[in-house]
Amino acid sequence: MLLTISGPSGSGKTTVARGLSQRLGFVHISAGEVFRDLARERDLSLEQLSKFAEKDPEIDQMVDARQAVLAQSYENVIVDGRLSGCVLKGDLAVWLKAPLEVRADRIARRERKGRAIALRETRTRDTSEAVRYLAFYNIDTTNLDIYNLVIDTRHWDQFAVIDIITQAVRSRREVG
């Protein structure tokens, strides 16, 4: 089974994917980690790489290709990433969402930075990604029609979100 978990930065994709991976015994692949690795390899911040990627579609294509190859290597896999649900046609596509302020607070805690900085960076990243995805993929990030399940993560903690998705996976397997 290929399960994709998509959503903007700070929505809980990676946290939920890790928890699901442990609960279900699925392999976990994170597009965000691939993007962070590329930034480190090029000695750039995430903001800088995002701006660079606006001009060079090969950055996003590289992330997509890496996650696709990895996903095909496993029978049961969870791939989390902003476009994973669009790029990888999986068995179950989940979108996690939360308001900008909630996501920025999470990022500030995770990255040990000030809220104002996290808010500015998250807003910049959201804008950059929306521009890139529309220009390079013709994907409108506000259109959630392809997702089987949309969860607003401000309403539940990670464990409740994992419970919801676990039930969806079980139901999907039964329908098969």
* pLDDT computed for residue 160 by the predictor: 98
Cα 59 to Cα 5: distance, rounded to the nearest angstrom: 20
Cα 135 to Cα 174: distance, rounded to the nearest angstrom: 38
Nearest to 15 by CA among 170, 168, 162: 162
Nearest to 31 by CA among 61, 53, 54: 61
Domain boundaries, the chain: 2-175
Q: What is the pLDDT of residues 15-58, one digit of tens each?
A: 999 999 999 999 999 988 888 888 999 999 988 988 888 888 88
* pLDDT computed for residue 132 by the predictor: 84
Cα 167 to Cα 65: distance, rounded to the nearest angstrom: 29
Cα 116 to Cα 100: distance, rounded to the nearest angstrom: 12
Fold of 2-175: Rossmann fold (3.40.50)
Nearest to 5 by CA among 170, 119, 168, 173: 168
Looking at the chain, the number of H-run helices and the number of E-run strands are 8, 5
In the predicted model, residues of the chain with pLDDT beneath 70 are 176
Give the predicted TM-score (pTM) of the model.
Answer: 0.87
